[in-house]
Every structure is written in structure tokens, then in C-alpha cells.
Amino acid sequence: MGNCLGNRCVGNKDTNVRISLPAVCFVWQIAMIILFGVFIRYNYESDTHWVEYMAQQNITSNIENDFYYRYPSFQDVHVMIFVGFGFLMTFLKRYSFGAVGFNFLVAAFGIQWALLMQGWFHSLDYTDGKIKIGIENLINADFCVAGCLIAYGAVLGKVSPVQLLVMTLFGVTLYAVEEFIILSVLHACDAGGSMVIHTFGAYYGLAISWVLYRPNLDQSKRLIGSVYHSDVFAMIGTLFLWMFWPSFNSAIAYHGDGQHRAAINTYLSLASCVLTTVAISSVTQKKGKLDMVHIQNATLAGGVAVGTAAEFLLTCYGSLIVGFCCGIISTFGYLVLTPFMEKSLKIQDTCGIHNLHAIPGFLGGVVGAITAAAATPSAYGEEGLIETFDFTGNFKNRSPNIQGGYQAAGLCVALVFGIGGGILVGLILKLPIWGDPADDACFDDEAYWELPEDEENIPPILEYNHNMTRKQQEVSESSFTVEQS
Amino acid sequence: MGNCLGNRCVGNKDTNVRISLPAVCFVWQIAMIILFGVFIRYNYESDTHWVEYMAQQNITSNIENDFYYRYPSFQDVHVMIFVGFGFLMTFLKRYSFGAVGFNFLVAAFGIQWALLMQGWFHSLDYTDGKIKIGIENLINADFCVAGCLIAYGAVLGKVSPVQLLVMTLFGVTLYAVEEFIILSVLHACDAGGSMVIHTFGAYYGLAISWVLYRPNLDQSKRLIGSVYHSDVFAMIGTLFLWMFWPSFNSAIAYHGDGQHRAAINTYLSLASCVLTTVAISSVTQKKGKLDMVHIQNATLAGGVAVGTAAEFLLTCYGSLIVGFCCGIISTFGYLVLTPFMEKSLKIQDTCGIHNLHAIPGFLGGVVGAITAAAATPSAYGEEGLIETFDFTGNFKNRSPNIQGGYQAAGLCVALVFGIGGGILVGLILKLPIWGDPADDACFDDEAYWELPEDEENIPPILEYNHNMTRKQQEVSESSFTVEQS
Amino acid sequence: MGNCLGNRCVGNKDTNVRISLPAVCFVWQIAMIILFGVFIRYNYESDTHWVEYMAQQNITSNIENDFYYRYPSFQDVHVMIFVGFGFLMTFLKRYSFGAVGFNFLVAAFGIQWALLMQGWFHSLDYTDGKIKIGIENLINADFCVAGCLIAYGAVLGKVSPVQLLVMTLFGVTLYAVEEFIILSVLHACDAGGSMVIHTFGAYYGLAISWVLYRPNLDQSKRLIGSVYHSDVFAMIGTLFLWMFWPSFNSAIAYHGDGQHRAAINTYLSLASCVLTTVAISSVTQKKGKLDMVHIQNATLAGGVAVGTAAEFLLTCYGSLIVGFCCGIISTFGYLVLTPFMEKSLKIQDTCGIHNLHAIPGFLGGVVGAITAAAATPSAYGEEGLIETFDFTGNFKNRSPNIQGGYQAAGLCVALVFGIGGGILVGLILKLPIWGDPADDACFDDEAYWELPEDEENIPPILEYNHNMTRKQQEVSESSFTVEQS
């Protein structure tokens, strides 16, 4: 059963990453420093020349600095990325360190690489060839990383940290290209990233998981599933994602009514989604008991699905309807689709991202296309229509109808990049050099973490000798041996 | 001993909610969609016509959108509702899923119903009969739900999720009426909701708990109380409530100095409250040891008690005094009143909301009345007085003295609605159709949740065979049987 | 083996704080109330006269109230103080209550005392002898407390709550004087407090720990170290510190580009720091496994080290370099320095604050001095230079070069106050009157907290009789005796 040296088995593959992990971290971080040195500068709002800029532009107050419009949302998004995604994945009984720790590592690398990749496409100042960054770039970098963290959910417990870093390197690159095509070339809107983030990220992860299929994964089945407290930890992730999702969808929406409306729509969709998730979870379980997997995940689908349309005039009841449907679909996904995909399509999806991100993301893209196509000047107001869809410059003459078509095209681009990129990256990750765990050593922190001793033997130790008969002591000692062995 | 089919007992009542819970969720959510479709629209700040409105009103910057004044506070309040209240109640050893999960469900339904109920009373646009919502409505909906979640604290572990939804439906309705009477008819101030939220919510919950009195609840006494890690989880709730309470009390205060002052007063009262809570907890326990129940709860009483007066000129030392007293009173409440109430008044108050919300809320109302009555133009400034108490329109000629009287009247209204409404709703919840647990199955997630296997048997499984003598193994196997049985 | 009355041993020292703890809490809180009554008032932005002030100053919008510039950052800082520091220290297997609970107590007292001490030095209105407070004072009070909480990290588990309160009383006092000298007399900049907060706080704690050296501390070694879930709890602290550090360093920076730039620099430095921490942690451990201690702590060093220079033109790649170096140095500190200091210097540093705060804080001071000295009008712009370093009034003619010298001088002041003050306070704390635990009772919540029963015996109790043979039951009962004893 592998090289069982310690008190837990780490399988018959070599999970030693002592060379590869530090090497990758060092080399890539040094590369980041060099590239940042060459390319990245502060933009006019984060540079000391802001005072002069204000005078020139006749801006009378520092509050007009974009920092004050977006910083609160940025911090909420930041919490979603690091605590939200990190803790959502702590539900496994023995993979909490990997969940929250690797999430941390991957995101910390990803945001740097994303600042560069997205910067080249969106924030390049052609006068000096430098990328100028401000608070909006930070939010976008967090968004970009979200895509990769979604993909992590599909392969949770089955890959090494080195593989995760490789996944992130390519994931961020693909994301930046895909985002550029969708937002800039097609001029589609996607403030909350239903297409750009969720659809892409989910299919990217699922495609990788498909390529990395492990036929003997049930050798680790003792570690699949949660324990009581790991489920409570996961609820920390769920709730911070749920609560801050209005910030996520409104973070880079247009100032004023755009951000305001995006927050309201997301708030409503999420609320509605909770009720239908509970309903389906209860009605499909023995004696109507609720399943924590559904509560932890499907309740979030409503936020995913209003990502694209959040700043449109989706209407309040429209948001409720989107959440209503997504709670149902996503919960059924956990009940029916995940087992089916594992068995028939050979896609092992640890966190069920297909139900939480892929389907709701796709639906979100469709809702966005329909809502855009249905936009009218009478509903939006002439100016409102132009501002909401940014019908300016080259796109001055685009009609809402046509915009709907481009939205749909954007969704296809996200799908193609996700699946295509995922298969490619999956093949790279299949090389036997990355230190991934054997089939019987998956979902186990033992492989990559120095684990503390077990909880059982904390307090007694010194005292139990005093109050026991000899026979009890004998039993207790043998019992301790068992628990520690 | 009930129908002990699984490894834990679920009592001799039928806790099957497989029909009722999904039915309630579905029907009510569909009702919400229809009512939102008929009634709810974006207001002028979240609508696409905001651009035109700005031009009309000569507003030069998007930053004047109320979103930017209130959104950071809104997100803090949102965290208090879902993480704060949810995790505060996870302290029980086997009711963490129910605490955080039902809190989530109830709040998600409640905010929708609150948007409607409060909207009809406060945000109805009489020109078209629609409710126009913006960020302030979201905050108020969260506030309204807070009242119901407080009530949940009294009945935690003793009711079914269906009962909680019914409690919330009626609770939100009563809240909206009571709030309308206090804030609009009596024109009392209550920015932080000492009266409207805390007094009402607490007495609502206590009255329900009184009607639902369970004489044999000690059959569940093995599950009352905490374990080490559940107490740490509860501290997450405590701290997020404590830290964000300044946002709670300032969230809907007047722009500018109103919000600023409300935050400062709350910050100070809470700080003071911590020290007296620790003092009383220590002095009343054997060997001066602290009790986690007090630290988790009584430290928050200071925030409750400055709710009404937070935006008045309570003065900084006044805030400290309020917190000082509340820490003492609330901790004594846990030591003396809760056992007394259970024994003599037949009110079983799981979380001790009487000490955390009822008494401090009542005191907060009194402090508010006194502070209002003591207001003078010399202290507030002529304009400041008018702005703080909104002495405009019909209330132009009201004096601070009279205002104090109306504040006191508001407190009575909250009490009456809480107690009266609670008794009524309690009687409804007494009907034997809601799937509540038997007396010996309370405080147990087993009743309504699919629970994961126990923590003890995670790691060994495969390995323990290798290192043991036969005798040890025999013992260990019997020991495992015991732990799993 | 001490007076082992209960089921755990509390050592041969008397940890009874039933008189001293309540007495200190009460007397000091009453003193606070009196001092606040005499000295503290609202400032012009939190007072009801703000309306009149606006009219006088021709301010057209409430949004210009400093509340709206700083409140979101304030709340983030508040989370860092109470949840960040509190949970970071929960990593010990049996000291989570003490970590999060005493952190709470100490911070709640500290912020009040800090408002007074810092107020006298910085916010005294000489016209009426009153301290005028607003949102910036609250942030500064939180900052001041951070210094004391850092010091708590060095003595975690080895002192009584009364000692902690004494440490905080003197710590805040020393901090306020030191801060006044550095910021006002020397006119050094230190927006994120590398010198003022981290260097001072860390050396203050280390000096105290040195004076309180316990030669027989290995008698408590069974309780040093973590368990699985306590490490996950600690990650909550780590992540909230990490995520909100951009707010920490930008909270009191100059409006506009200052706050904007401080947030960006901190974000980058922290990201870079994570990668090198992981690299060093992996390369130095057997089989490349990661150590949670490093991930929990060294990843934060990047935020400490850009504290001083965060609002300067550190450049984006400069921030990355700072983080890069700090991750390496801090992780090596945990591997090499902490054991060395304990063995050779007799400094027992429970949380390793030397690696997380002392070294990075010192480095941050150096980076700040260099960056300041290297500032040029061409890089900053004439106006930008004046604004960034506040070269106004008495300091109108100071050059960046000279400023660099003063920055270095500030660093020395922080060091001297930390070490000197720490030794002094350590001697006071050595008096045998404070109720600190014996060497074999350290790191144990048993000393100061009423602990709940152990987790093992939650669910069975009633049921296990049904399914067992008599022999199993006998074994199980003896086993229970053992676990409970």
C-alpha cells in the first residue's frame, strides 16, 4: 500500500516537491519582479502627480479618485478570493490545509501575473509602453485569479502545489486573452464575470480533471467527505462568498447607478437561490434532511448567474427568478450530474464546480444576452442605454439587438477557451514530473504538509495515572496505542 | 426513547419536514417573485435614469449617489446578519449546522419579505403605486431580519426550520408595522434599533419560547453546552458582531456628522462593555475563571444599548457609561436571570437573548428618551438640532422635551408588539404540524441534517493493523464499536 | 505536580485572579469614564455643528466628511485587531480561548487609553483643553493597540490576564510618547507603522519575555504546538490580516493618491512574500512538506516591511522586492533564530514575533529611510514631494536627504523605547502578585477559563447500551473513565 513510513500512508508515488516547488516559486517570483520593473507603473490616480492632475482637470476633491469609488468593493472581493474560496474548500476531513493553503499560494502568484497579462491587454500606455495600474487593476487581477481558483475546485486533493501553480500560470494567460476578446473585441458586457470568470474557469477545471482522470480514486474514498467541524469551516467560506457577492458583481460596474443596481440585483438573486436550494435539498433526501454540500454550494449559484446582467435593467423580480432557477438546477446538479459525470464522462469534480460555476455561469451568459437584446431606449433612457452598454466610439451605432448577439458570442468564446485550454494544460500536467499523489493518497494533507499530532491525546497524559485502577490503566494504554498508531 | 434507528436518537416526534419545508420554500419564493413583479422597482439612484436626474438636479458627481455613503456600512451589516448571528449560535456542541444553516435560510427569506413590508410603509411611490428601492432599503431589510434572528436565539435547537420560517413571516410583518408606528407616526428616532430591533425582537422570541415551553427539556441536557472548538466558532460570530456594530448603528444615520458620531459612540460603548463583562464574569466564578458564555454575549450589550442614542450628542463618556452598565447587567443576567426565568417564569431562552437584547434594548430606549429630552439648541446648534431629530414638516414645532416623551412611547410600542405578537405566533407554532423535535431530541442536528461520520475514525483504518499485537487490536475494535455506536 | 484538583493540572502557582482581574477592570474603566468626561469631545466632523462648519467653509457635500474617506479602512483595521490578531494566536492546541479572549479584553481596554494618550499628544485643542476625536483617532487607537497585541504574541500562554492589562497600560503610554517623538518631533513618516507599531511592539514584547524567562518551560511542552483544527482557526487570523493589510497601511495615509498608492504597494509586497515563504518552508523541510507555522506568519512579513514606505514612490517592483526578501528572512527566522534565541539569548517567543514583526519592522524602517532619501522633485513632482513628506510649516526647507536621516533616527527611537520600556515593564510583571501560571501550567486555558467537557463524549451516552455485548460495555466504560479523568 505504498511507502507507509509515518503513521499515514502517502501512496506509491513520490510526492516530494522539495526541489520543484521552491524552484518554481523562486524563479517565477524573480521573473515577476523583473517584468514589473520593466512594465508596471502607478497610474495617474495612484501617482504623486495626482495633485497636478486634479488642478489641470479642475477636479475639486480627492474623493473623485477612483480609489474611493472602488476600494470597499475591492476589499470585499479580496475576502472572497482568499477566505471565501479558501474556506469553501476546507470541507474535506483531511484536506483543510491544502484547501486554504494552496488557495493562498495560487492566488498570491496569480494576482501578480494577472496584473501583467491584463495590463498588456487593457492598461498599456502606448506613449511609454508601460502598464499603468490603479485600484481597478487590482480588482481585475483578483477576478482573474477567481477563474483559476474555480478550476482548483475540480481537482482539489488530486494535484500537487506545483501542478496548481502551472495551472494558474496558463489559466491566467488564457483568461487574459479570452477576456480581451470578449470585452474589447466583441465589446460584450460582463461586469460580474458569468462568462469571463465562471464559465471559463469551470470548464477549464473540468477539462483538466477529465484529462487527469484517476480510475482508482476510490482507494482514497475514506478521505472523501467531511467531518462535523470541517463542514462548519466550509460555511465560513460559503457565507463570505454569499455576503460579498454583491460587491463582486458591482466592483467594476459603472460608477453611480451601475454599481448600485448590480449590488441590488445580486443581493436579490442570492436570497432567492437559498430558498430553492433548501427546498430541493430537503425534498430529495430521506426524511427531508438537508445536505450540507447543497447549502454550502448551490446557495451561491444565484450570484454566478446574475454576473453578466447585474448592471443591466434585469428588474428586481427578474433577479429573483434567476436565483430561483439556479438554486434548483444547481442542487439537482449535485444530486444527479456529479455522479453521472464521474461515472459516465470520467470527470471527477471534487467540489462540484460544474453545478456551482459552469451551469450557472452559462445561464448567466444567456440571461445577459437576452437582457441586452431586450434593452430599449424607453426603459433605459437614451443616455442610460449608451452608458450601460458603452455604445460609444466604434460601437456608437450598435443596437441592443446586435449587442445581444455579441453577448452570446462572448459566451462561446469563454466555453472554447475553457475546454480547449483545459485539455491542453491537462496534458502538460499529466507529465510524471509534478509530484502529484497516488490514487490512494489523494485528499490527504499528509502528502504536502507537516501535520500536527492528533487531537485525541491532548489533555490527559500526566494526570490519568492518579485516578485509575491498574486494569483501567492497562486498557487505556492499549487504547492510546491504537489511537496513535 | 423514541425511534432510534440511526446512531443517534431523534425522539418520539416526527421531525420529517420533507413535504412541509420544500412546500413552504417554494410557495413563498414564488409569492415573492410575483409580489416583486407587481410592486418593486429601482429607485432614482439605482435606475439608469440617474444620469438624467443628476443633470436635472445639478449634481456634478456620481459620488453623491447614496450608494457611496452607505454601501460599506451595508456590507458590514450584512456580515453581522449572516456570519455574526449565524456563528454566535454555533456554540452548542451538536447544533452548529442548525445555527448557521437555518440562520442563513431564515435571513434569506426575511430580507425579501422585509423589502416588501417595509417598502409599503416607507418607500411607496404614490404616483405609480410602486415601491422604489435602493441601498438604504437593503440595509433596512437586513435590520428587520435581525429582529427575527434575535428571536431565533430564544428557541434555538427547539424548533423546526418550518417553524422558523413561519416565525420570520410574522416577525417581519409585525416589525414593519411596529417600525412604522415608532418612526413615522410617533416620529421617534432609532438609528441603531434599540427599540425597533432589539426590544421587539427579543420579547417576540421570549414570548414564543414561553408559549412553546417544554417541561421535559432536560432530557436533552447532554447536548446543552459547548465543546472547545464550538466555543471558538462562536467567537467568530461574537467578534464580527462586535467589530461591525459601529456600522450597524451608523448605517442609516444621517449623512455626515450623524454617521460619524454614531460610529464613535458605538465603538466606545462596546469597548467599555468588554471590561465590565470580564470583571463580573471573573468575580462570580470559582477561582476567578472566565466563562465563555459571558464573553461571547454580554460584551455585545453595549452596542445594543447605544442603538437609539448613537447619533445624538450622547457624549463620549456617556457612551462609556452606557457600556459600563450594560456589561454588568447583562453578565448578571446570564448568571441569575436566565436560570430564574427558566425555573419560575417557564421561559427557556437558549442563547440568553433576554440578557443580550431585551434588557440592553430596553435600556437603550430609555437612554434615547433621556438624551433626546435633554437636547438643547446650545449643545446641538439650531440647525444641528433640527437635523438630528428631523424637526421638519409636521414636526417642526416639536421640542426636545416632547421628543423624549415620544421616544418613551416608542419603546412601549416595541414592547407591546413583541410580547403580544410573540404570544400569538407562539400559539400558531404550537400546532402539531410543524415537525418540531421531541424533548429528548432538541439541540441535535441529527433531526434536520445529514450528518457526516464522526471525527474519531478518520486516519487509522488501514494502518493500525501493522503495529499492534492481537490483544490491542481486539480492544481497539471493541473501542471503535463503542465510539461509533 | 501542583494542585491538581480538577481534571487538568494548573501548576503549583496560584492562578486565581478573582480579586485582581475584576478590580483592575473596574477601576481602570471608571478612570476611563472620568478622564473621557474631562477631556474627550467630538471633533468638528463628528459634532452636530458640522452643518454650520460646512456652510462657513463652503463645503458643498457631506461626502467631504473624513468619515467617508476613512471609514472603510477603519473597519478593516478593526477586523485585523480583533479577528486577525486574535485568531492568529489560536494555533495552540489548548490556548484558543486565551488567544482570542484576552486579545479581545486587552484591545478593548487599550483603544480607550490610546484615545486619551494619543489625544493629549496629537489632538488637543488648546483653546479649551479638550481632545477632539473623529474617525482618524479611532484608527490610530487601533494602531496603538496593535503594538501591544504584537507584544502579547511573545508571551502568549505564559502570563495572566492581569499582566496583559498592565502590559497594555504601559505599552500604550510608551507608544504614545514614542509616536509623538517620531512623527511630530522628528517629523518622520510612518503611515503603516513599520517603526512606530511593529518595531516598537515586537521589541517591547521580546524584552518583557526576556525578563520573564522561564527556564523550566519544557514542563509544558505537551501543550506547545497545534492540532489540526487549531491550525485552521489560525488561518482565519492570517488571512484577515493578509487581506486587510492594504487598508492598514493606507488607513491614515494622505487622501487621494497617498491612500491609493499605499494600498497598491502593500498588496504587491504581500503577494510576493507568500511565494518566497512557501519556497523556503518547502526547501528546508523533509520531503518538501510545508510547515503551517511559516504559512501562518511569514506570509505577513511583506505587509510589515512596506509600512513606512507604502505611501512613498516605492515603485511596484520595489514593493515586490521587499516582500521577496521578507518572506525569505522571516521563514529563516522561524527555522533558525527562534530556537537560537530561546537557547542562547533566553528569549522565549511563543508566536515568533521576532520573525514576523521585529525584523520586517526594522527592515521597513530602513526601506523607508532609503526611499525617502532617494526622493526627487522630478519623480514626485514639486507639489507631490511637499504633500507626501509634508514639507510645510517648520519643515518647509527640509530636503529628502535629511528626511532620510530623520527616518533612520525614528527607527532608533522605536528600538530604544521598545527594549527599554520592555525591560522596565518586565520587571514590574515579575512581581509575584499577578497570578501568572506555573511552568508546567503554561499554554493551558484551564488556568483562566471555565472549560467545556471534552469533545469525545458527545453523542453516544444513551444509545450505546443497545448494541453492545457486556464485555464491550465494560471496556467502553473504563475507556470513558480514562478519557474523562
- The pLDDT tens digits of the residues spanning B202-257 come to 999 999 999 999 999 989 888 988 999 999 999 999 999 999 999 999 999 999 99
What's the number of domains chain B is made of? 2
Grid coordinates of A299: 446557495
Nearest to C18 among B73, B287, B316 (CB): B287
Domain membership of residue A125 (yes or no) is yes
Check B257 against C47: CB less than 8 A apart: yes
Neighbour subunits, C (≥3 Cβ pairs < 8 A) = A, B
Sign of CA dihedral B299, B305, B310, B313: negative
How many Cα neighbours within 13 Å face the side chain of A150? 39
| Chain C, window 117-176: residues with a beta carbon less than 8 angstroms from a chain B beta carbon | 133-135, 138, 161
| Residue B291 near chain C (CB below 8 Å) | yes
Distance of alpha carbon C36 from alpha carbon C14, whole angstroms: 35
With respect to residue B352, please indicate whether it lies within any of the assigned structural domains: yes
Instruction: Confirm if C445 and C177 have CB atoms less than 8 A apart.
Output: no
Q: Which residue of chain A comes nearest to B108, CA vs CA?
A: A271
CATH number of the domain enclosing B431: 1.10.3430.10
Q: Which pLDDT score, from 0 to 100, does residue B455 have?
A: 57
Give the distance from residue C425's alpha carbon to the nearest chain A alpha carbon, in angstroms. Answer: 33
> Which of B14, B29, B243 is the best substitution to test chain A (most A C-beta atoms within 10 A)?
B29
Helices (H), B381-462: 382-389, 400-429
- Residues in Cβ contact with A237 at an 8 Å cutoff, skipping those fewer than 6 apart: A83, A84, A85, A86, A87, A88, A89, A90, A296
Q: What pLDDT, on a 0 to 100 scale, did the predictor assign at position C478?
A: 39
What share of residues in chain A are helix, strand, coil (percent, to 5)?
70, 0, 25
φ and ψ of C341, to 5 deg: -60, -40
Rounded to whole angstroms, how far apart are CA atoms B46 and B131? 13
Chain A residue closest to C71 (CA)? A72
Q: In this complex, is the C-beta atom of B104 within 8 Å of any C-beta atom belonging to chain A?
A: yes
Both B147 and B171 in a single domain? yes
At A14 the pLDDT is 85
Closest partner CB to A138 (pick from C229, C244, C267): C267
C173/C194 Cα distance (integer angstroms): 18
**What 3-state DSSP class applies to B132?**
strand
Q: In whole angstroms, give the CA distance from residue C237 to residue B235.
A: 12
C458 shares a domain with C394: no
Contact between chains at A235 and B86 (C-beta distance less than 8 A): yes
Task: Say yes or no: B128 and B258 in one domain.
Answer: yes
Tell me what ipTM this predicted complex has: 0.91
Verify whether the Cβ–Cβ distance A29 to C222 is below 8 Å: no
Taking contacts as CB-CB distances below 8 angstroms, the residues of chain A near B95 are: none
**A138·C263 Cβ contact <8 A:** yes
C287 Ramachandran zone, left/alpha/beta (phi>0; psi -120 to 50): left
Are A388 and A476 found together in one domain? no
Report the gap between the CA of A169 and the closest CA in chain C (Å): 14
Coil, strand or helix at B76: helix
Instruction: Select from B100, B138, B229 the Cβ nearest to the Cβ of A264.
Output: B138
Do B282 and C133 count as a contact with CB atoms less than 8 A apart? no
Q: Select from A72, A385, A455 the Cβ nearest to the Cβ of B75.
A: A72
A246, A315, A485 member nearest B468 (Cβ): A485
Model confidence at B9, pLDDT cuts 50, 70, 90, reads: very low
Q: Measured between alpha carbons, how far is C351 from C161 in angstroms, rounded to an integer?
A: 17
The alpha carbons of chain C give a radius of gyration, in whole angstroms, of: 24
Of C37, C66, C86, the CB nearest to B317: C37
Cβ contact A215:A158 at 8 Å = no
Q: With contact defined as beta carbons under 8 Å apart, do A297 and A84 qualify?
A: no
Q: Are residues A272 and A189 in the same domain?
A: yes
Contacts of C36 in chain B (CB under 8 A): 268, 316-317, 320
Query: Any chain B CB within 8 A of the CB of C39?
Result: no
* Predicted local distance difference test score (pLDDT) of residue C460: 42
**A433 in helix, strand or coil?**
coil
Tell me: do C249 and C189 sit in the same domain.
yes
- CB atoms < 10 A from the CB of B22, how many? 21
What is the average pLDDT across A392-419?
94
CA distance A371 to A381: 15
Which residues of chain C have a CB within 8 Å of the CB of B295?
A: 101, 104
Regarding whether B476 and B444 lie in a shared domain, the answer is no
Say whether B104 and A456 touch across the interface (CB within 8 A): no
By the CB < 8 Å criterion, does B32 face chain A? yes
> What pLDDT does C119 receive?
96
User: Torsion angle of alpha carbons A202, A207, A212, A213, nearest 10°?
Assistant: 90
Touching subunits of B (3+ CB pairs, under 8 Å) are A, C
Q: Looking at the structure, tell me whether residues A410 and A426 fall in a common domain.
A: yes
Residue C472: enclosing H or E segment and its boundaries?
A: helix C470-484
Question: Between A138, A435, A449, which is nearest C292 by CB?
Answer: A449
Q: What share of chain C is helix, strand, coil (3-state, %, to 5)?
A: 70, 0, 25
Strand order in the sheet with B130-133: B40-42, B130-133, B124-125
- Transcribe B299-332 into DSSP letters: GGHHHHHTTTTTTS---HHHHHHHHHHHHHHHHH
Considering the domain boundaries, does residue B44 fall inside one? no
DSSP string for residues in B242-269: HHHHHHHHHTTSPTTHHHHHHHHHHHHH
In a domain, residue C366? The reply is yes
C4 touching A (Cβ < 8 Å): yes
Helix (H) or strand (E) holding B124: strand B124-125
pLDDT band of residue A3 (cuts 50, 70, 90) is very low
Is the CB of residue C235 less than 8 Å away from at least one CB of chain A? yes
Q: Are residues C228 and C335 in the same domain?
A: yes
Residue B10 lies in a domain: no
- Same structural domain for residues B459 and B348? no
Q: Supply the angle between the helices B257-283 and C50-57 in degrees, to the nearest 10.
A: 150
Chain C interface includes B278 (CB < 8 A): yes
10-residue averages of pLDDT along chain C (485 residues): 42 83 96 97 94 92 94 96 96 95 97 97 94 96 96 95 96 97 95 96 97 92 91 96 96 94 96 97 92 96 95 94 96 94 93 95 96 93 90 90 95 97 96 91 93 62 38 40 35
CA distance C69 to chain B (A): 10
- Interchain CB contact of A7 with C (< 8 Å): no
Report pLDDT for A453: 76
| B54 touching C (Cβ < 8 Å) | no
Torsion of CA B325, B331, B335, B337, to 10 degrees: 60
**In this predicted structure, what is the pLDDT of residue B13?**
81
Chains contacting A (3 or more CB pairs within 8 Å): B, C
pLDDT band at A455 (very low <50, low <70, confident <90, very high): low
pLDDT at A454: 67
Residue in chain C nearest A452 by alpha carbon:
C227
Contact A232 B96 (CB under 8 A): yes
Note down the domain range covering A476: 454-480
What is the C-alpha separation between B72 and C316, in angstroms, rounded?
28
Alpha carbons within 13 angstroms on the beta-carbon side of residue B59 total: 17
Within 8 A of A8 by CB-CB distance, chain C residues are none
Rounded Cα–Cα distance for residues A149 and A204 (Å) = 11
Partner residue facing C317 (CB), from A37, A46, A72? A37
Question: Taking CB atoms and an 8 Å limit, are A482 and B462 in contact across chains?
Answer: no
Query: Are A232 and B25 in contact (CB < 8 Å)?
Result: no
Alpha-carbon torsion C364, C365, C366, C367, what sign? Answer: positive
CB B304 within 8 A of CB B257: no
Residue B189 sits at the chain A interface (C-beta within 8 Å): no
The per-residue pLDDT for C11 is 52
Judge if B238 and B386 occupy the same domain.
yes
CB C447, CB C97: distance < 8 Å: no
What angle, rounded to 10 degrees, do the helices at B161-179 and B96-122 form?
30
A49 touches chain B (CB under 8 A): no
pLDDT at A460: 43
Confirm if A82 and C242 have CB atoms less than 8 A apart. Answer: yes
Do B449 and A260 make contact, defined as CB atoms within 8 angstroms?
no
Q: Decide which of B474 and A24 is more confident.
A: A24
Domain shared by B349 and B465, yes or no: no
Residue A179 has pLDDT above 90, yes or no: yes
**Are A255 and B60 a contacting pair, CB within 8 Å?**
no
- Which whole number is the average pLDDT over B318-323? 96
Q: What is the pLDDT of residues B432-484, one digit of tens each?
A: 889 999 999 999 999 999 999 765 545 443 333 334 333 444 444 433 333 33
User: Chain A within 8 Å of B70 (Cβ-Cβ)?
Assistant: no
Closest CA to A87 of A76, A75, A100, A97: A100
Is the minimum CB–CB distance between A82 and chain C shorter than 8 Å?
yes
Residues 191-230 of B with CB under 8 A from C: 222-223, 225-230
Numbers of helices and strands, H then E, in chain A: 20, 3
Name the nearest CA neighbour of A367 among A301, A276, A281, A296.
A301
**Is there a contact between A48 and C379 if contact means CB atoms under 8 Å apart?**
yes
Which chain C residue shows the shortest CA-CA distance from B288? C18
Q: Which of C222, C226, C479 sits opposite A452 (nearest CB)?
A: C226
Interface check A236 vs B, CB under 8 A: yes
Distance CA B158, CA B175 (A): 23
Of C309, B467, B129, which is closest to residue A482 (Cα–Cα)? Answer: B467
Which residues in chain C have Cβ-Cβ distances shorter than 8 Å to A161? 278, 290
| Residue B145, amino acid | V
